[in-house]
Amino acid sequence: MSWIGRALRKWRPPRRLSFTREGRTVVLIALGVGFGAINTGNNLLYLLLGWICSFIIASGFLSETTMRGLSVRRRPPPRVFAGQPFLMEISVENTKPKLASFSIEIEDLVGERPLDKKCYFLKIPAGKTQRTSYRHTFSRRGLYVFDGFRVATKFPFGLFRKSRDIDTEGEVLVYPQLVPVARPTPRTESAGDATASRLGRRGDFYGLREYREGDDRRDVHWKSSARTGRMLVREYEDELNRKVAVVVDNALPADVLAAIEDGANPPEADALERAISLAASLAIAYLDAGWSVELIARGLHVPSSAGKPQAARILKELALLPTVDPEETFATPLPPRVESVVVLPRGVVVGGRPSNAARVMEA
């Protein structure tokens, strides 16, 4: 949040008050009764006016009491994907020792604006915590920053809606949308010898490489590791046949980038989002099939690895992958003897793309 936003939040009113339909009716009646009492001097009208005003004052006092002493927290799910609904858990703790809170509405604030979903709590007993969830869907990937909560109530008579904002910052990382892709199968060598498709089978020894998270420690070559001072593991031929480099081109022409900065949404930007979504889906499909996956983009390189930790790394990097100028180069060339898939946004033509990929896909 910028310093201007922080300054404005310090000067905002502690409470917001809006009329309900019933509240507007009661206020209009009070004005009419007061006008009649002043013109006629009728004591009964003055008595009625005093009763209506005390009714309004009691409403303000009770609503303020029910909103005090509330502590609100959110708990997002571990993984959120674009285009898929998720449940955000909201918990409210009533820290008042004796008084309960009634008819509480909670809204999450993103960029000073509430989301389109609300959580409603009918009663929160004194010293207790209530939990509920709201369903929401983010249409695009990226990092969403929550600024806080808006706590509101119409208690006790429904005449006014009183609200206040609570500053409780949080973040939700939204991964790219996953689309259906074909399950990958191990490739075969050019000589015609079929490779082992069963996970865990060892082929011929190929060489040594540095240890990566998820590698079996039984494959560590201790003599070479002690000699070089780096932990090295054995690499086998069938492992090479279960490695893939997923390449996504995250560059857009300069005029398209200028249009995006001006607030436009050109079709090339949607094509890039589809390409990133396809790259994420391919990477997850390969990882689920037991492959080691390497991610390459302009200005980004995730080294080859396998397993759930690698899936989390790739999804995070793709969720935050920026759109760059075509002059930005790919972080690393395509690795030799490894299957490669290049994913391109359909209809976008830029230079500097790899020309030796095994497969090229457009989204």
Per-residue pLDDT reduced to its tens digit, 293-305: 999 999 999 998 8
Domain match, 171 and 247 both: no
DSSP label at residue 1: -
Domain residues for 326?
Answer: 241-362
The whole-number average pLDDT for the span 126-153 is: 93
Q: Is 189 part of a structural domain of the chain? A: no
Q: How many domains does the chain have?
A: 3
Domain match, 333 and 354 both: yes
Give the angle subtended at the CA of 184 by the CAs of 180 and 185, to the nearest 5°. 155
Domain match, 293 and 274 both: yes
Per-residue pLDDT reduced to its tens digit, 146-189: 988 999 999 998 999 999 988 888 899 999 999 998 878 765 44
How does DSSP assign 128-162, residue by residue? -EEEEEEEE--SS-EEEEEEEEEEEE-TTTSSEEE
Per-residue pLDDT reduced to its tens digit, 181-233: 887 876 544 433 333 333 344 555 556 777 766 666 777 888 788 888 888 87
Alpha-carbon distance values, 230 to 112, 126, 136, 214, 215 (Å): 50, 59, 47, 16, 14
| Terminal-residue alpha carbon distance, the chain | 34
Domain match, 312 and 209 both: no
Domain match, 124 and 139 both: yes
- Asked if pLDDT for residue 287 goes beyond 70, the answer is yes
Domain match, 159 and 14 both: yes
Q: Is 52 part of a structural domain of the chain? A: yes
Domain match, 26 and 167 both: yes
Q: Is 186 part of a structural domain of the chain? A: no
Domain match, 221 and 168 both: no
Domain match, 256 and 113 both: no
Predicted structure pTM score: 0.76
Give the pair of three-digit tokens for residue 319: 């969720």
Alpha-carbon distance values, 244 to 58, 160, 233, 274, 341 (Å): 69, 61, 19, 20, 7
Q: What are phi and psi of 195, to 5 degrees?
A: -85, 160
Confidence band, pLDDT 50/70/90 cuts, at residue 353: confident
Domain stop point among 185, 204, 237: 237
Q: Is 154 part of a structural domain of the chain? A: yes
Domain match, 342 and 256 both: yes
Domain match, 205 and 247 both: no
Q: Is 53 part of a structural domain of the chain? A: yes
Domain match, 13 and 108 both: yes
pLDDT at 194: 37
pLDDT at 190: 40
Per-residue pLDDT reduced to its tens digit, 86-95: 999 999 999 9
Q: Is 183 part of a structural domain of the chain? A: no
pLDDT at 238: 52
Q: Is 188 part of a structural domain of the chain? A: no
Q: Would you state the torsion angle of the CA atoms of residues 154, 155, 160, 162, taken in this order, to the nearest 10 degrees?
A: -70
